[in-house]
Structure 1
Amino acid sequence: MSRASGILMHISSLPEDYGIGTFGEQAFKFADFLKASGQSYWQILPLGHTGYGDSPYQAFSAYAGNPYFIDFKLLEKEGLLKKEDFENVDFGTDETEIDYGKLFENRFKVLKVAYNNGKDKLKGEIADFKETNKAWLEDYAVYMAIKNKMKLLSWQEWDEAIKLRDKKTLEAYKIALKEEIEYWIFVQYQFFKQWRALKAYVNSLGIKIIGDIPIYVAIDSADTWANTELFKLDVHKKPTVVAGCPPDAFSDTGQLWGNPIYDWEYLEQTGFSWWIDRIKESLKLYDVVRIDHFRGFEAYWEIPFGDETAEKGKWVKGPAMKLFDAIYKKLGEVAIIAEDLGYLTQEVIDFRDVTGYPGMKILQFAFDTREESDYLPHNYNKNCIVYTGTHDNDTALGWMHTTGNKKDVEHAKRYLKLDKKEGYHWGFIRGAWSSTGKTAIAPMQDFLGLGNEARMNLPSTLGINWRWRMKKDALTEKLHTRIYELTKRYGRLKEYDK
């Protein structure tokens, strides 16, 4: 079995100009850095069009891409923008932190200029794009156009006729908002054009992209508005139940996510066609798909709508292998990583094992002194992806200095033989890279030795997350040489494949 490794680095965190990482020059430079470091994988977070709270796990569409990632310099090269259209616009002044308020206020204005300059010039290409993506594109574009007219209210708050997609009302909106609808189609055309060029370059270096799809969609999304039959909603299209996690050692009241829950009986009657299409489209974007909250396919925590906490939820059985047998029948073998973190029953473990998909091991979870942990490297089987931490964890140094229990931190020091000379973060990476897991991945923050200030997400909080950005001078020859040597030492370079 081949051994490999990679780096977790979301597009938003790249040190591009104009406020946020994009599919531009810095993304290509990062791909070169991965190659020089001997890495096989670039893992990213979901690429969806983010909504309130800026979370990649709460998007306006399961298919549409995030307009923030469209690179202005590439649009300038196409003749769709002039430098003065974006050069002196305020997108935020902190090179290490994204200012989402300023992005929202100013970035779409620049994209509107590009649209006005390109809508006639690119008419043929955009028509082809519409045809290729007709299964989702119009619903998304109409949804975004109406949403903006409604001052960003969720479709749940729209007037009843358009909320329920009355045919005459919907057609009237399509006519009245035709130009705005075409703008959103143009934005998606540019997103996918730029992403595919970047992905082709990454793949040409022998590197694969691991993408991430949330198991659930947002209630405030084109998917829910246009496909209400897929979800457990009442006659007024309000959710009857919502998703979350039960109380556990990390949260006394559990986690209330609020996503609508699938009507799995209906989906089964359709041959799971919506999910099959979603996986199929994801495989056009990524080489490997990580499915967030994979255990929810075996059983999911269902919470009555309106509850303020997740405490009164209950476990409900999911489709399990029925869904994945249907996916295999239509798509064949699919490269999937099962995010199997959290409370796992034997049924969930058996389900994951039957799929054959690798699960995840998080090194930060290994050192709970209250119990012998499955996350300790000596307990791993080979069919797993080993992480020092994910986007939901603190950085390795942040955990050591800020969030870790003192006894747990001392356990980690002893187990991994951590010392300041090597660097605690390098000791964590060594622990992952030296493990038996077939693939090892660490967030870029850990390679850079950053602390709590570089944490990507603190679950169950709003307004402080998804902001970290890497500095432009971070990708040094010294760093990629050290990563390469570590990767070679533990047999994870391509030439070490057996």
Structure 2
Amino acid sequence: MSGEGDLAQRRSGVLVHLSSLPGERGNGDLGRHARDFIDWLARSGFTIWQMLPLGPTHDDLCPYQCLSVHAGDPGFIDLDALVDAGYLNAQQLRMNATEAASRESLRAWRQRCLQEAYAGFMARDQGDQGDQGRPGDQDEQAAAAHRALATFREQHRHWLEDYALYMALRCEQQSAPWWEWPAPLRDRQPEALDAARERLAEAIGQIVFEQYLFFEQWAALRDHARTQGVQLFGDMPIFVAHDSAEVWAHRDCFDLNADGHPQTVAGVPPDYFSADGQRWGNPHYDWQQMAADGFRWWLERLATQLELFDFLRLDHFRGLAAYWSIPVTAATARDGHWVPAPGDELLEAIRARFGAIPLVAEDLGVITDDVVALRERYALPGMKVLQFAFDSDAANPYLPHRHEPASVVYTGTHDNDTTLGWYQQLDAHVSERLHAYLGYPQEPMPWPLIRSALASVATMAVVPMQDLLALDSTHRMNVPGVAEGNWRWRFEWEWLPAGLDEQLLAMNRLYGRC
């Protein structure tokens, strides 16, 4: 790799989603806590912040089944910045006890604030501010903001217009999925879409404004990260949620029937995480159609993500070699089968567009020789997870002595238990093997595994925030195959022990990762 996402330098990072940051408004956002976290990373010797996908989620909050592959979740918008810009006043941000009672009510409250901010933004249009018949500083600022919004809308038109219309229609249809909409809207008949754009113009303007705010605030956060020497590491799911703007707007790119329903769905066969495999339910791509126009849909998707991140993890990379195709009528993933995918052609198109391919391959699970060959052919780093390393023999590819420099080593990922929780539930023989391999360390878990990750020859080492805080299983981010209760974990600044940043800085220096 080369450019801003260069992985040639030995370095380390922390995995924690933006939503997990501290804050008073239900979830982490792009405000002061995000900037403070970047500063803490820098003080601790970390130069990578890895997070999960940033798109707007369905009600289950899963960032791997987003409503758009391009848009940012408006719930991440820093509301205090809207006060500073003059779109809101401080009184509008005051929460009452009822609104603070649950995450769901806070999400609704955030949305109301954004609606009020849009009204405030529109009220500050050029010509509405001057009391003396001449524009003042506020007039110029308002005019500049409106020009910036218009520029943003034009630059992102290829996805933003469809997304805004989709979200406005979805609200009008009481959150029904697009395949349940009236047929003219479901099938994107031009007359029906034109009428909807006129009917929903105000709602569409609101949604465009929210995306403008998200991208503007993200750019400012990324600039701050650059000043601290911190790079942003994103995550891109290989598949797309069925109920999403992209599937609705690009039905020809997906394997759907005439009514918009998938003919087969994505998932994985039985593995470490699930005895029945995982039936994700995403529609598969029509790869032949995508190849016909040079994978334009994929290239546009990647371009948007590289506007946000220095480099990306491609989740379920093995799906570019072959994907697990499950009959839509099957209750579990056991009934699926492998189907070849045109990963070579896609990665060639990505290399032609972007030069060095800015991807890390998530190559966990059932990995065959063709997957390894594809990853190596394009010089993509793979992943090593230490929690997978100690349940077999010395040939286990996740053991530190088996690591390769062109890889990213983790103690665990967002799908794993915390390292302390994992350790507390180990079988006795695995626990003994772990202790023997690590030289019967005196430090309490998870620190021996953290040290092992940092000491690895893997060029990048990433540690989940839960492990740095030595948290147990109650602090998991996600339990694969379990539908409820995931994606809600957050930490508080008070949980960081005094001197943790100095301890981590010393470790990063010791293992050559500063």
Question: d(CA) in 1 for partners of 2:371 and 2:32?
Answer: 42
CA distance in 2, matches of 1:136, 1:458: 32
TM-superposed deviation, 1:233: 0.6
Q: What is residue 79 of structure 1 aligned with on the other side? A: 86
Q: 2:446 aligns with which of 425, 438, 442?
A: 425
Distance 1:21 1:243 in 2: 30
1:441-480: CA deviations, max 9, x gaps? 1001100111111110001112211111111223455000
Give CA deviations for 1:263-307 in whole Å, capped at 9, x if unaligned. 111111111111111111211110011111011000000111132
Q: Letter of the aligned partner of 2:110 in structure 1?
A: R
Distance in 1 separating the partners of 2:13 and 2:161: 36
- What 5-or-longer segments of structure 1 have no aligned partner? 494-498
* Residue in 1 that maps onto 2:25: 18
Using the size of structure 1 for normalisation, the TM-score is: 0.95
CA contact (8 A) 1:339 1:359 kept: yes
**Aligned mate of 1:33, from 32, 40, 45:** 40
Is 1:112 aligned to 2:133, yes or no?
no
**Of residues 427, 430, 434 in structure 2, which corresponds to 1:408?**
430
Q: Determine helix, strand or coil for the equivalent of 1:16.
A: coil
**CA spacing shift, 1:84–1:5, aligned 2, 3 Å:** same
Q: Does residue 481 of the first structure (1) align with residue 502 of the second (2)?
A: yes
User: Which amino acid in 1 is paired with 2:290?
Assistant: L
Cα distance in structure 2, aligned partners of 1:109 and 1:56: 22
Whether the 8 Å contact between 2:277 and 2:332 is mirrored in structure 1 is: yes
| 1:195-206 → structure 2 map (5 Å cutoff) | 195-206=218-229
| C-alpha contact (below 8 Å) 2:254/2:286 kept by paired residues | yes
Is residue 130 from structure 1 mapped to residue 153 from structure 2 by the alignment? yes
Is the Cα–Cα contact under 8 Å of residues 10 and 513 in structure 2 kept in the other structure?
Answer: yes
Structure 1 counterpart of 2:457, from 416, 425, 436: 436
The corresponding residue for 1:53 is 60
Corresponding letter in the other structure for 2:27 = I
Report the AA paired with residue 414 of structure 1: A
What is residue 491 of structure 2 aligned with on the other side? 470
- Find 1:174's aligned residue among 176, 197, 214: 197
Residue 146 of structure 1: how far off its partner (Å): 0.5
Q: In the aligned structure 2, how far is the partner of 1:93 from the partner of 1:449?
A: 28
Determine if contact 2:100/2:106 at 8 Å carries over to the other structure. Answer: no
Equivalent residues in 2 for 1:179-198, closer than 5 Å: 179-198=202-221
Separation of aligned partners in 2, 1:360 and 1:197: 30
The correspondence for 1:445, drawn from 455, 463, 466, is 466
Q: What is the rounded CA distance, in whole Å, between the counterparts of 1:49 and 1:125 in structure 2?
A: 23
> Are the aligned partners of 1:290 and 1:337 in contact in 2 as well (CA < 8 Å)?
yes
Are residues 1:346 and 2:369 paired? yes
**Do 2:179 and 2:259's aligned partners in 1 also have CA atoms closer than 8 Å?**
no
Root mean square deviation of aligned Cα: 1.6
* Cα displacement (A) at 1:188: 0.5
Alignment-mate amino acid for residue 415 of structure 1: Y
Paired residue secondary structure (2:153):
helix
Moved over 6 A (4+): none
Query: Structure 1 residues 259, 207: CA separation in 2 closer, same or farther (over 3 Å shift)?
Result: same
Q: Which whole-Å deviations, capped at 9, do the CAs of 1:311-351 have from their partners, x for residues lacking one?
A: 11110001121111111112211321111111001111111
Question: What amino acid is the match of 1:3?
Answer: R
Q: Distance in 2 between matches of 1:386 and 1:54?
A: 27
Q: Relative to structure 1, is the Cα distance of residues 102 and 370 closer, same or farther in structure 2, using a 3 angstrom cutoff?
A: farther
Equivalent in the alignment of 1:305: 328
The farther-off stretch of 101-110 and 301-310 is 101-110
Of 92, 102, 107, which residue of structure 1 is paired with 2:105? 102
C-alpha distance in structure 1 between counterparts of 2:385 and 2:171, whole Å: 40
Q: Structure 1 residues 123, 485: closer, same or farther in 2, change over 3 A?
A: same
Kindly report which structure 2 residues correspond to 1:259-338, keeping only aligned pairs within 5 A, or say none.
Answer: 259-338=282-361
Map Cα deviations across residues 409-438 of structure 1 (whole Å, 9 max, x no partner): 33222222455x522111110010011111
Give 1:202's aligned amino acid: A
The letter for the 2-side match of 1:336 is L
- Write the deviation string for residues 216-272 of structure 1: whole angstroms up to 9, x where unpaired: 110000000000000001111211111000123542321000001111111111111
Residue aligning to 1:496: none
Match of residue 7, structure 1, among 14, 21, 36: 14
1:164 to 187, 198, 201: 187
Return the letter of the residue paired with 1:407. H
Residue pair 1:392, 1:457 contacting (<8 A) in 2 also: yes
Aligned to 1:144: 167
Question: 1:270 & 1:427 partners in 2: Cα distance?
Answer: 50
Tell whether the 8 Å contact from 1:54 to 1:100 is kept in structure 2 after alignment. no
- Following TM superposition, by how much is the alpha carbon of 1:405 offset from its aligned partner in structure 2, in angstroms? 3.3
Measure how far apart 1:484 and its partner are.
Answer: 0.6
SS of the counterpart of 1:243? strand
Q: Contact 1:391–1:457 (CA<8 Å) still a contact in 2?
A: yes
- Post-superposition shift, 1:371? 7.8
Q: Distance in 1 between matches of 2:338 and 2:404?
A: 28
Q: Which amino acid aligns with 2:63?
A: P
Aligned-partner Cα distance in 2 for 1:409–1:92: 46
Q: Secondary structure at the match of 2:334?
A: coil
Q: What amino acid is aligned across from residue 92 of structure 2 in structure 1? A: D
Q: Deviations over 1:60-93 (max 9, x none)?
A: 0000001111011111111111122122245875
Secondary structure, aligned partner of 1:135? helix
**Mapped partners of 2:419, 2:171: distance in 1:** 41
| 2:403 is the counterpart of 1:376 | no
Please report the TM-score for the alignment, with normalisation by the length of structure 2.
0.92
Count of paired positions: 487
Q: Secondary structure at the match of 1:291?
A: strand
Contact 1:276 1:327 in 2 (8 A): yes
* Kept in 2: contact 1:254–1:311 (CA 8 A): yes
Q: Distance in 2 between matches of 1:63 and 1:464?
A: 25
In 2, Cα distance between the equivalents of 1:195 and 1:394? 30
Aligned equivalent of 1:223: 246
Whether the aligned pair in 1 keeps the contact of 2:395 and 2:402 (CA below 8 Å) is: no
Give the Cα–Cα distance (whole angstroms) in 2 for the partners of residues 347 and 30 of structure 1: 40
